[in-house]
């Protein structure tokens, strides 16, 4: 019994040591490199290449769907441009994480997904992330594949699924949009933590590192996800009232 307790205590101490180490590394890192985007040089070349390969089909699907939808409606490209600008601005809002001396930020992909569909959202995210990496030192070019996967693919598809599942369950438009923004934000954050832990963990202890990264960012990212839920629901309600045709995805020819 005493041995079991000792082992449990040792595992607990090792976990919190990893949280503290991760926090110290983030605190020592330059401010622009401690954002929720994975920054340049964090991932080994092999892992960076893997995420480029995995993300590429989603971006190509987004380009294909953009071409199809543009042929159906002349309003699609301006709407995608506006949505992309919103994602770019929203995901450029750094919010300090006092626990680790880093920053987190909203994503905007939940709103983009329920307006434009998930594959278009992956395309939008890839463009926004490229511009941020080139001009704002936010994220990086070598980690563009991983960041596109976490924000554009995981966040986008999750937000889209949650919104439509909520509506099918009778949750209402506002509640469904709120849940889409909230869960898409948390899913993006979880994806980033997963990619970093898989690439950086030693001796196969990726799950412990994953939990450590999640614990380090949770105090800020949890309320930030709630904030993004309100932003998504408020923006979607505003669009529905002023320009309801924008949300008429069938008329605009949404291809998931």
Q: Categorise residue 203: left if φ over 0, alpha if ψ from -120 to 50, beta otherwise.
A: left
CB atoms within 10 A of CB 73: 14
DSSP for 52-109, please give it: HHHHHHHHHHHHHHHHHHHHH-TTHHHHHHHHHHHHHHHTT--EEETTTTEEE----H
Report pLDDT digits (tens) over 189-210.
Answer: 899 889 988 988 877 788 888 8
> Which pLDDT value is given to residue 240?
85
> Which pLDDT value is given to residue 10?
61
- Say how far apart CA 56 and CA 141 lie, in whole Å: 14
| Own/partner long-range contacts of 130-135 (Cβ < 8 Å, ≥24 apart) | 131/88, 132/37, 132/88, 132/91, 132/92, 133/40
Give the model's confidence band at 30: pLDDT under 50 very low, under 70 low, under 90 confident, else very high: very low
Q: What is the DSSP letter of 186?
A: H
What structural domains and CATH numbers belong to the chain? 42-252 (1.10.1760.20)
Check whether 129 has a pLDDT greater than 50.
yes
Q: Which two tokens stand for residue 185?
A: 């934000």
Lowest mean pLDDT of 56-65, 81-90, 179-188, name the range. 81-90
CA nearest neighbour of 214 among 188, 248, 240: 188
> Which pLDDT value is given to residue 54?
97
Backbone torsions φ then ψ of 180, nearest 5 degrees = -65, -45
> Which pLDDT value is given to residue 254?
47
Please give the average per-residue pLDDT across 153-158, as a whole number.
96
> Which pLDDT value is given to residue 74?
81
Please give the average per-residue pLDDT across 206-231, as a whole number.
87
Check whether 160 has a pLDDT greater than 50.
yes
Residue with the two structure tokens 């278009």: 120
Alpha helices in the chain (DSSP H): 2-28, 45-72, 76-90, 109-116, 118-135, 144-147, 156-168, 173-200, 206-242, 249-252
Contact 83, 116 (CB under 8 A): yes
Report pLDDT digits (tens) over 36-85.
Answer: 578 888 889 999 999 999 999 999 999 999 999 888 888 788 888 888 98
Please give the average per-residue pLDDT across 89-107, as a whole number.
69
């Amino acid at each position: 019994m005493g041995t079991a307790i000792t082992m449990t205590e040792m595992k607990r101490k090792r976990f919190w040591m990893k949280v503290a180490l991760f926090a110290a590394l983030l605190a020592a890192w330059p401010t622009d490199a401690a954002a929720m985007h994975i920054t340049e040089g964090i991932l080994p070349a092999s892992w960076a290449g893997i995420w480029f390969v995995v993300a590429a089909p989603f971006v190509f699907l987004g380009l294909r769907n953009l071409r199809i939808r543009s042929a159906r409606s002349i309003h699609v490209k301006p709407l995608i441009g506006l949505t992309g600008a919103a994602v770019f601005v929203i995901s450029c809002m750094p919010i300090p994480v006092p626990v680790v001396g880093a920053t987190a930020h909203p994503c905007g992909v939940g709103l983009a997904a329920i307006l434009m569909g998930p594959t278009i959202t992956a395309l939008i995210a890839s463009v926004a992330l490229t511009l941020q990496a080139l001009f704002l030192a936010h994220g990086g070019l070598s980690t563009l594949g991983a960041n596109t996967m976490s924000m554009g693919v995981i966040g986008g598809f999750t937000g889209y699924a949650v919104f439509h599942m909520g509506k099918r369950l009778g949750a209402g438009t506002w509640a469904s949009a709120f849940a889409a923004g909230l869960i898409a934000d948390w899913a993006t954050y979880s994806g980033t933590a997963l990619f970093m832990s898989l690439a950086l963990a030693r001796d196969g202890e990726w799950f412990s590192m994953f939990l450590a990264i999640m614990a380090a960012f949770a105090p800020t990212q949890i309320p930030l996800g709630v904030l993004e839920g309100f932003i998504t629901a408020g923006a979607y309600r505003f669009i529905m009232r002023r320009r309801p045709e924008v949300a008429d995805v069938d008329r605009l020819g949404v291809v998931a």
